[in-house]
A and B are shown apart, each in its own frame.
Chain A
Amino acid sequence: MSTWLSEAALEEIARERRKYPPEQARSALLAALRIAQEEHGYLPEALIEHVADLLGVPAIQAFEVATFYTMYDLQPVGKHQFCVCGSVSCFLNGSDAILAHLQQRLGIGIGETTADGLFTIKEVECLGACKDAPMMQLGDRYIENLTPEKIDALIAQLRQEVQR
């Protein structure tokens, strides 16, 4: 039995696998990696290999997918991830300044996590909300029309939630 994933996760991956024809195992990689990440928090090398094994595809194919999409975390991440879009629209509307502000406020660099394990900053590719650029994703939410003030308020609010 898998030491990495629960019975439920394995069943979910198997269900995803069944959606595709027998010779198209590669197609199920996106979903399988997402399920693995939800269960384990992030995707260490060995877990990616394990997912590839489950689907019967060469490990490198799983790595190609995992390293391509910014939604997959290859390192442990904080409780809250600030996924700031750095693509064209957001860039033109000052995403660099937003990223710089975040880094300065949290004292960490892009791709790093605060010592208390609360926050991680990530720069991601276009999330399809260009009309309200600059924007970022936080958990399941989009936070749009970002300003330094909005970010400060958000950080304070999240810290408060934890203390409660």
Chain B
Amino acid sequence: MPRLEIDGQEIEVPAGTTLMEAAQQLGIYIPFFCYHPKLSVAANCRMCLVDVEKQAKPLPACATPASDGMKVATRSRRAKMAQQGVLEFLLINHPLDCPICDQGGECPLQDVTMGYANPHSLYTEEKRVVEDKDIGPLIATEMTRCIQCTRCVRFGTEIGGISELGATGRGEKMTIGTYVAKAVRSELSGNMIDLCPVGALTSKPFRYKARSWELKHSSSLCPHCSTGCNTDVQSLGKEVLRVKPRSNEAVNEEWLCDKGRFAYTGLQAADRLQQPMLRVNGKLQPASWAEALDLASSALQQVIGKHGPDAVSGIISPSASNEELYLFQALLRSLGVRAIDHRLRQTDFRADPAMPLYPALNMSLEQLESEAFVLLCHAYPREQQPLTNHRLRKAARAGAQIWAIDGAKREFNYPLRQICAPAGADLALYRGLVAILRDGEQTQDVELRALATALQQASKPLFMLGNGLLQHPQAAELLAAIASLVALVDGRISWLAEAANSAGAWLLGCVASRKIGGALVIDAPDLWSGKKAFVLYGVEPEADAMDALRARAALDAADCVISIASFLGEAEEYADIVLPLASWAESSGSFFNNEGRLQEYRAAVRPAGESRPGWKILRVLADHLEVPGLDFDDLQAVQAAWQGALGEFPLDVPGLGTFPELQPSRMVAEAGYRLLGDWGIYRQDPLVRRAPPLAEEAQARVHPDTLAELGITGSTLEVLGGNGARVQLPVLVDAGIPRAALWVNFGHPETQALGGVGRVVHLQQPSLRARA
């Protein structure tokens, strides 16, 4: 353990500690730009030069390991001269455009210049100008401001999995960019904005909106996936102006994905609900809260009185807070309603009795980094949970063996081996694996054999179960096959939960087959068939249901649809009563993340218009319906109530339970193309779908052979759904899609019209009539 002295203070540090880290432990600040604790050491900005006794030249503190007996001075004359010299050179080519630079006020270069620079520069020559780069719709570039610290480059290769960024040229001509004009796409790209120590990379949506010191900070959570990233919602007046990560080593470290960072831009969507509405003469008309609540409660009472409580279905978003989830199910269950669920994307619920208490990671996110063998089962964490994916990526970089089984090959950002089922034969793949492992069956499939061998050799392999499984029409059989696999190789199961509070929805009884705390409900009624009334809470079945057509037909046929939501969407056509719901940024609450970690968030701004926080709406609705016991005065009381009702529960819920007898199901077998797909990263919930910078088009992907076989030459494909739907989609050739299949990204009206995964569709060259 070297002992050294920094600015006269002694410290003993473990071998390998750098001077920068040692100084930080002493609370001594050494200025820097390129150094970052999460990135490799580059030592190219030279700002952290310090004066070390008996050394001929100043040394960079970030790259110099502490050694015994060192005497370091950070404020000596020589250190100061070095700092001033470095800053003078850095500023030679840096424009003096702070007044129009978004980084102004939160700029390390500005701060360090104020603190350490010599106010006079000897430089009188011209400054260089650097061409701006296109690194996507989210990051504004002003490359003349770049000081070549290469943090963004290192972030790209080390964290983001972007291998296109680099520093080309030399000396004064060195620039950051790609070697060919090429947009950099990564779901983590926004972090480069935070990392950039100058105004070279700034947030495009936030550009020129406000100065950092004007913003109010509210500690919040990201409501867009189950990782549960901690965020800082920054607002000015009534408007959320930006979202940045809050550092939490155990969850998101200091990162945030682009979905979490930019989805707030959807809060201002045109169809944002500002006041209650009622359907009068077939059209939705603004109404008062009193009228709307009266009507909502009387309509519900009427349906229940006439058709019984099983004629009512309650569907809540898995992004709702624990408080909302608890009140929602408590209210409906008191009325006798049993069809309560949050799983719009699932169609096969036969495995429910075998499901665990909640979809748990069954370990901490940090532990995921040290896994040695992971098999991703129909899981694509890169888009489902970008920062959980980052942990997996770290595991992969540390040498973990990663495999993936899915219906199509996906674009992972770490090395792994992917096995893709022939169109629609996902189940056969898992069963094939079981047959090899259990019965020693021979197979021609080399990859599958290799996976079987790898599984046998691995010690307690981890099976990560993704959305793709639950969204599959044969979900129950897939899960049963995986359960056998896990048992055969002594594996462990880890779930990648679908949405921000899927865990909470399971725990708090927003699943038809489970009451709060996981108590089983036998013979829970179906969510859609024969329903006379629907209570929708924060959901858009038209965009989020796997079988959107069936959902829409059921909604259209119902006597009464009550939609409690932040956005109107297609509810304009089917809802009878619309209650405006405050968004996550406008209300407080708590989520359980994928680990089962309970985290709270605070309202950042006032609710838009007359919208109200969900717990208040539900509480008042309960009042109107004369449901006792839900008359809470504040959020803390709701919290105490659900915590009391839920009680203690185990964080780890390993394994799957006993499966019921599963009648063999069959995939529709008719000629045509099998529909495959998933909700892309920016189509997963109502808010992110409305974020303009994250907008993406509906898209079809097919195998090159499919295109050739159909003789399709253009860039558009016409898809005929079995249900009479006829849509045109831009087509992308992708060899990772199996033959005889069509892959689409769901969550778009065009793709939602096709009926969901597993259907058979027909493809053709767009007809002239349709094109015109």
Interface positions of A (Cβ within 8 A of B): 45, 58-61, 63-64, 67-70, 125
| A69, B171: Cα distance in complex, Å | 11
Q: Which residues of B contact A45 (CB under 8 A)?
A: 179-180
Say yes or no: is B736 at the interface (Cβ < 8 Å to chain A).
Answer: no
Q: Is there an interface contact between B170 and A125, defined as CB atoms closer than 8 Å? A: yes
Complex contacts, B165 vs chain A, CB 8 Å:
60
Known contacts A45-B179, A45-B180, A60 near B170 by CB under 8 Å: no
How close is A111's CB to chain B, nearest CB, in angstroms?
A: 12
How far is B167's CA from A60's CA once the two chains are assembled, in angstroms?
Answer: 8
Q: How many A-B residue pairs have CB under 8 A?
A: 32
List B contacts of A60 (CB < 8 A): 163-166, 168, 178-179
Provide the bound-state CA to CA distance between A105 and B444, in Å.
72
B89 CB to nearest chain A CB (Å): 15
Contact B168 A67 (CB under 8 A): yes
CB distance from B192 to the nearest CB of A (A): 15
> In the bound complex, do residue B179 and residue A59 qualify as a contact, i.e. CB atoms below 8 Å apart?
yes
Answer yes or no: B724 CB below 8 A from chain A CBs.
no
Residues of B within 8 A of A59 (CB): 179
A63 close to B179 (CB less than 8 A) = yes
A67 touches B170 (CB 8 A): yes
Chain A at the B interface: mostly helix, strand, loop or mixed? Answer: helix
Q: Which residues of B contact A58 (CB under 8 A)?
A: 157, 163-164, 166
A58 to B161, CA, bound (A): 11
Partner of B168, one of A64, A70, A125: A64
B166's partner among A61, A70, A125 (CB-CB below 8 A) is A61
Please give, as numbers and ranges, the residues of chain A lying within 8 Å of B650 by CB-CB distance: none
Q: How far is A68 from B167 in the complex, measured between Cα atoms in Å? A: 9
Number of interface residues of B (CB under 8 A): 13
8 Å CB contacts to A: which residues of B379-406?
none
| Sample of 14 A–B contacts (CB below 8 Å) | A45-B180, A59-B179, A60-B179, A61-B163, A61-B166, A63-B168, A63-B179, A64-B166, A64-B167, A64-B168, A68-B168, A68-B169, A70-B170, A125-B171
Q: Chain B's nearest CB lies how many Å from the CB of A82? A: 19
Closest to B170 in A: A68
Q: Which of B145-180 contact A (CB under 8 A)?
A: 157, 163-171, 178-180
Provide the bound-state CA to CA distance between A64 and B157, in Å: 14
Q: Which one of B157, B179, B180 has the highest number of Cβ atoms from chain A below 10 Å of its Cβ?
A: B179
Q: Considering only CB atoms, which chain A residue lies closest to B157 in the complex? A: A58
Q: How far is the CA of A81 from the CA of B118 in the complex (A)?
A: 43
Interface hub of A58, A60, A64, A69 (most chain B Cβ within 10 A): A60
Contacts of B169 in A (CB 8 A): 67-68
Cα distance, A141 to B168, chains bound together (Å): 28
Complex formed: what's the CA distance from A63 to B170 in Å? 12
Nearest chain A CB to B312's CB is how many angstroms away? 56
Q: How far does the alpha carbon of A69 sit from the alpha carbon of B168 in the complex, in Å?
A: 10
Cα distance A143–B165 in the bound complex, in angstroms: 38
A125–B174 CA distance with the chains assembled, in angstroms: 14
Which residues of chain B from 178 to 204 have a CB within 8 Å of any chain A CB?
178-180
Complex: how many Å from CA A125 to CA B164? 27
Bound CA–CA A58/B169 (angstroms): 17
Q: In the docked arrangement, what's the CA distance between A45 and B182, Å? A: 14
For residue B178, which residues in chain A have a CB less than 8 angstroms away from its CB? 60
A31 to B167, CA, bound (A): 20
Inter-chain contacts of B179 with A (CB < 8 A): 45, 59-60, 63
The residue of chain A having its C-beta at the shortest distance from the C-beta of B182 within the complex is A60
Which chain A residues border B163 with CB–CB below 8 Å?
Answer: 58, 60-61
Closest residue of chain B to A67 (Cβ to Cβ) is: B168
Tell me the bound Cα distance from A61 to B164 in angstroms.
9
0/1 string, B445-468, CB within 8 A of A gives 1:
000000000000000000000000
Distance between Cα atoms of A62 and B563 in the complex (Å):
56
Distance of A64 Cα from B178 Cα, bound (Å) = 10
Distance (whole angstroms) from the CB of A78 to the closest CB of chain B? 22
Closest approach, in angstroms, between the C-beta of A22 and any C-beta of chain B?
A: 13
User: How far, in angstroms, from A67 to B170 measured CA to CA in the complex?
Assistant: 7
CA A64 to CA B167, docked complex, whole Å: 6
What is the CA–CA distance of A63 and B168 in the complex, to the nearest angstrom?
A: 7
**CA–CA, A149 to B62, complex, Å?**
50
Closest to B168 in A: A67
Q: What 10 pairs between A and B have smallest CB-CB spacing? A: A58-B163, A60-B166, A63-B179, A67-B168, A68-B170, A64-B166, A67-B169, A60-B179, A63-B168, A64-B168
With CB as the reference atom, state the residue of chain B lying closest to A60.
B166
Residue of A nearest to B169 (CB): A67
Contacts of B164 in A (CB 8 A): 58, 60
Residues of A within 8 A of B167 (CB): 64
Closest residue of chain A to B165 (Cβ to Cβ) is A60
Known: A58-B157, A60-B168, A125-B170. 15 other contacts (CB 8 A): A45-B179, A58-B163, A58-B164, A60-B164, A60-B178, A61-B163, A61-B166, A63-B166, A63-B168, A67-B168, A68-B168, A68-B169, A69-B170, A70-B170, A125-B171
